[in-house]
Structure 1
Amino acid sequence: MSARLLALTTSDRPALRFGAGTLTYEELARAAGALAPRLRSAGRVAVWATPTAETAVGVVAALLAGVPAVPLNPRSGERELAHILGDSEPGAVLAGAGDELPAGLAELPRIDVDVRASGPRASGPYADESPDPETPALIVYTSGTTGPPKGVLLSHRAIAASLDALAAAWAWTDEDVLVHGLPLFHVHGLVLGVLGPLRRGGEVRHLGGFSVEGVAKELGEGGGTMLFGVPTMYHRIAEALPHDPALVRALTQARLLVSGSAALPVHDHERITAATGRTVVERYGMSETLMNTSVPVGSGPRPGSVGLPLDGVELRLVEEDGSVLPVSDGETVGEIQVRGPNLFTAYLNRPDATAAAFADGGWFRTGDMAVREPDGYVRIVGRKATDLIKSGGYKIGAGEVENALLDHPGVREAAVTGEPDPDLGERIVAWIVPADPADPPAPGPLADHVAALLAPHKRPREVRYLDALPRNDMGKILKKALREPADD
C-alpha cells in the first residue's frame, strides 16, 4: 500500500473534469497546495459537497493539510445539518465562491475554494513524509435511518486499502478514465469516484448531474473507460438503450460498468447485457467498511451477486445467535460480518455505538442479510432490520422477491416489506409501480408469478400500488417511508 493516498504529480495529464472545466494533476496539486495551509488550524473542515471541482479540490486540500473533511449533503434539512455540525464541530466550511449556504452554516468561518489558485505544489504531510495511516481522512455521516446520523471516522489506511483492493479486482490503472454523476457527500461518489482515480493517477469526468445523454457522450466520443452508477441510473440506461444507438455504442466501448449502493435488478442486468454485450459488475460496501466484495472483472455475468470478498477482507455469515453458518448452499440466510483493513475507526463521539457494532474478534456487524453460493459468491437478500421477513417459519429476503416481481412485464418498480400477520407471523407485502398505470397487473397473477419463479411461501400476500417509490439521493428505496394510503 502506498504511503500517500493520492498520486499528485507535476504531470499535465487531466485529473478532474467537471463539465467544460479541466484540472491537470499539476493544477490540482497547486490549487490544493494553496488552500491546505489555511486549513491546518481548523481541526476539522466541513465541505459543502456540491458536484463540482471545488468540492474535489477542497477535500484534496484537507488531505494535504492532515485534517479530516466532513462532506455535507447540500440537500440536508435544517435539523440534520444542525446535528452534523454539532457533532463534528468543524472549524470552517469550504465552498465554491458562488455557493449560497444555509443559515445553519452562518456561524462557521467560510473559506472559498479557488480551483485556479497556484500555491506551493502539494504542501503538507503528503509532500515530503508518510502520514500516520490511522490519521482520520474523512468523517462521513450515515443516512440516519435508525436514529440521528452517526459520523463514521475513515482513516487513510481504510481508504487506501479499499481502493487498492478494488484496483486488483477491476484491473484499475492510470489509463482509466472514470465517468460518473454521483453525489460527492457519500463514499461511492467521493471515495470511489474521486479519490479512487486520483490514487491510481487516472482521470475523473463528473457529469455534474446524471443524464443518459452525458453518459453516452463521455463514454463514447469522450473516451471514458469506466462508469460508476447506482441502480436508478442503470435502470434509466436500460430503458433508453432500445431507442439510442449512440448509447449502445458508448457502453459497448466501456471497459467496466459498476453498480453499487443498492442491488441492481436482474431484469436491468439482462437488458444491458443483451443490448451491449457488457456485464454490469456489482460490488458491496457501506460507509463503515468501504468496499467488502466485488464481482471480479472478466468473470462473466453474475446477476444478483455482489461477488467475492476483496483482497484483505474476511467475510462470514452468522445466525441470529451469533454462531457462524457452516454451509454455503445458496439458500441459507445469515447476517454478513466482515473484518479487515478497510474498516472504519469508530463512530465519532459514540463509543457505545462503536462497541455495539462489533462482535468478538473484531468482526463488524453489517446488518445485511445474504446467502453464499458454493463457489463463495455472495448474494445479498436485504437488510436485517427491514428486509428479512419471517413468514410461516421461513426466512425470506425481500430482495429476491423484488427481483421476481421486476421480472413481470407489468411491473416498472417494486419494493417488498413485511407486516405483522396473526397466522404467518409476517406477511409479504409488495409495493408496485405499474408499467402502465391505467392497467396494473392484478394481485393474484403477480403472486402466482413470484411463486412460480421462487417458491409458494415467497409469494406476496398483499399488493399495493404507487405512482413512484420513495428514494434517497443515492437511489435507495426508503422502505420506512412506505405507508398504506389512508383510503386503501
Structure 2
Amino acid sequence: MRLLTALHDAEDTPRTVTASGESVSRHELLGRASALAESLRGVPVAAVDATAGLPTIVAITAGLLAGVPIVPVPPDAGTTERAHILRDSGAAVLLSDGPSGDLPTMAITRPGVSGSVPPEPDAGTPALILYTSGTTGPPKGVVVSRAAIAADLDALAEAWQWTAGDTLVHGLPLYHVHGLVLGVLGPLRIGSPLVHTGKPTPDAYARARGSLYFGVPTVWSRVCAMPDAARELRSARLLVSGSAPLPVPVFEELTTLTGQAPVERYGMTETLITVSARHDGPRRAGHVGVPVRGVETRLVDDAGVPLENDGATIGQLQVRGATLFDGYLGHGSALTDGWFTTGDVATIGADGWHRIVGRASTDLIKTGGYRVGAGEVEDALLLHPAVREAAVIGTAHADLGEQVTAFVVTDGPVPEKELIDFVAQRLAAHKRPRVVNLVAELPRNAMGKVQKSRLRPS
C-alpha cells in the first residue's frame, strides 16, 4: 500500500490542502510534487527550510514520492544549529524557492509543470530525518521509516475515528512529529482536507470551521483566554492536545467552553505517537490514555526491572512497537530487546491509563527519600487563582538531596508562603515547594514546552 494513500486518489476535487491562505487540490499537489520528485532522483538526502506554507508541503511530499529522506530544518534555527543539521544529515541539496549559501538549491515551485508518479519505495525506506531539540548535546538525527509513519497514522485514525470526512485544522510548525507527520502526512494518507492556519491563533482556529483540531497546551490556553473564539469550536468533533502536558485547569476550562474534553496523547520524535485517549472513551485530566494499536509500554526501575501497573508507582517509561524509529543517524539502533527507553517517567494504572510525570532528568525529584513528580506539583500550583503558569524542578539541598523548587508566573504579587501552603493543603507535605520564584515568564521552545534547563533559582 502507498504511504500517501489519499494523495493518489483521482476523485479528490473537493478535497483540498490549504496552507497560509493558499489552496490546492490533492491532484494539484500530486502534480507539483511529482515534478520535483523527478529532479530528486539519485539525491541521497534533501533538506528543506520548513516554513509554514505550501512549498514545504510540496517539498516533503516530493521526497516521499521519490524515496529520498527529507530533513526539515526549523526556519528559526540559529546559524550553529542549522549548520550542524545540514552537515550531520548529509543533505546534498536544499529544497527552496529562494537563494541559499548553505547547499546547492533546488527550486520547489515549478508553475505549469508536473511529472509522472514514481513507483512506491520500499516500506522500510527512511522517510524523514527529524532532529531532536539538543537538550543533552548537539541535536541528533532521528531516522523515521515509511512503515513507522504508516503504522502510526493508521493507529491514530482508529483511535480518533479520523476519516476523509473530517477537516483537520492546525497551525503547528512543519518540522516536528505533531505538525508534520500527524498534521500533514495524516491528511495525505487518510484523505481529510487540511487547513494550516499559518499561526495557531484563537481567531484563526475559530474561523476555520474544522471538525478535528490539533494544538499544544500553549495554543489551548490562549484559546481559553478568548472565550468567544473557544465557543466557535463547539461544532468540532475532536480537540487534540499534545507535545507537552496539558495543565488540568486548561483541560477543565476548554471542556466548559467547547462542550467537550480534549483528547490528550503522548509521543516523541523517536516513537511517534504511542499513547492516546480514544474518540469514544473517557478523557481524564492529567492523563494521556492507553497504547495505540501495535504499541506496548511498560515501566521499569533504575535497574531495568519491570514495575507494577498500579497507578501510583513511578517508573521509567519504555515503548516498543511498529511506530519506533530506525535509530539515530550515524549511531545505529537505540533499542534493547525491541524496547526504547523514552527518558520519561510515568505511572500506569491497572486499566492501562498512563500519566506522564515528566522527564527523568528534570521532572522526577528525589527529595528526602521520596520520589516527587514535578507535574503533580505544577497542577496544584495552577489551581491557585493568581497563578497563570508554573514549572517545578529539583535543586540541590544539603539535607534532602534535592528540594522541590517552583517558578511561577502570577497575575500579581503573591507571598511565597501562601503558595507553599496552598500546595501543602492539597498534596502530601513532602511534595510542597520549599522555594517559590516569581518570574515574568517561563522559557519555552517553538512547541511551547518549558525549557527547564534554563530555569535558575533567584
Question: Which residue, 97, 115, 118 being the options, matches 1:124?
Answer: 118
1:63 corresponds to 2:64: yes
Q: CA deviation at 1:89?
A: 1.5
1:307 corresponds to 2:262: no
The 1:115–1:170 alpha-carbon spacing in structure 2 relative to 1, beyond 3 Å, is farther
Distance in structure 2 (CA, Å) of the matches to 1:402 and 1:364: 27
1:238 corresponds to 2:224: yes
Distance in structure 2 (CA, Å) of the matches to 1:171 and 1:116: 37
Question: Which residue, 73, 86, 109 being the options, matches 1:114?
Answer: 109
Question: Which residue, 203, 210, 218 being the options, matches 2:193?
Answer: 203
The 1:272–1:116 alpha-carbon spacing in structure 2 relative to 1, beyond 3 Å, is farther
SS at match of 2:63: helix
1:349 corresponds to 2:330: yes
Distance in structure 2 (CA, Å) of the matches to 1:432 and 1:54: 40
Q: CA deviation at 1:450?
A: 1.3
- AA partner of residue 434 (structure 2): R
- Could you state the TM-score of these two structures normalised by the residue count of structure 2? 0.97
**Equivalent residues in 2 for 1:453-464, closer than 5 Å:** 453-464=426-437
Equivalence for 1:295: 277
Extract unaligned runs of 5+ from structure 2. none
Question: Which residue, 104, 123, 134 being the options, matches 1:133?
Answer: 123
Equivalence for 1:358: 335
**Equivalent residues in 2 for 1:6-155, closer than 5 Å:** 6-8=5-7, 9-10=9-10, 11-95=12-96, 97=97, 99=98, 105-114=100-109, 116-121=111-116, 123-126=117-120, 131-155=121-145
Equivalence for 2:243: 261
Distance in structure 1 (CA, Å) of the matches to 2:314 and 2:288: 15
- AA partner of residue 317 (structure 2): I
- Cα deviation digits, residues 403-452 of structure 1 (max 9, x gap): 1111111101100010111111100000011122xxx2211121122122
- Cα deviation digits, residues 300-321 of structure 1 (max 9, x gap): 3311111000000000000111
Structure 1: 4+ residue segments shifted above 6 A: none
Distance in structure 2 (CA, Å) of the matches to 1:182 and 1:275: 22
- Could you state the TM-score of these two structures normalised by the residue count of structure 1? 0.91
Equivalence for 1:480: 453
Distance in structure 2 (CA, Å) of the matches to 1:432 and 1:189: 28
**Equivalent residues in 2 for 1:437-476, closer than 5 Å:** 440-476=413-449
The 1:117–1:433 alpha-carbon spacing in structure 2 relative to 1, beyond 3 Å, is farther
Distance in structure 1 (CA, Å) of the matches to 2:384 and 2:231: 28
- Cα deviation digits, residues 53-87 of structure 1 (max 9, x gap): 00001000011111000000011111111111111
Are the equivalent residues in 2 in contact too, given 1:179–1:205 (CA < 8 A)? yes
Q: CA deviation at 1:329?
A: 2.0
Distance in structure 2 (CA, Å) of the matches to 1:364 and 1:13: 41
- Equivalenced residues, count: 456
Distance in structure 2 (CA, Å) of the matches to 1:92 and 1:248: 42
Extract unaligned runs of 5+ from structure 1. none
Are the equivalent residues in 2 in contact too, given 1:27–1:118 (CA < 8 A)? no
Equivalence for 1:421: 397
1:317 corresponds to 2:317: no
**Equivalent residues in 2 for 1:366-377, closer than 5 Å:** 366-377=342-353
Q: CA deviation at 1:116?
A: 4.5
SS at match of 1:85: helix
SS at match of 2:425: helix
Distance in structure 1 (CA, Å) of the matches to 2:111 and 2:23: 10
Are the equivalent residues in 2 in contact too, given 1:52–1:208 (CA < 8 A)? yes
- AA partner of residue 370 (structure 1): A
Distance in structure 2 (CA, Å) of the matches to 1:26 and 1:253: 29
SS at match of 1:358: coil
The 1:115–1:471 alpha-carbon spacing in structure 2 relative to 1, beyond 3 Å, is farther
- AA partner of residue 220 (structure 2): Y
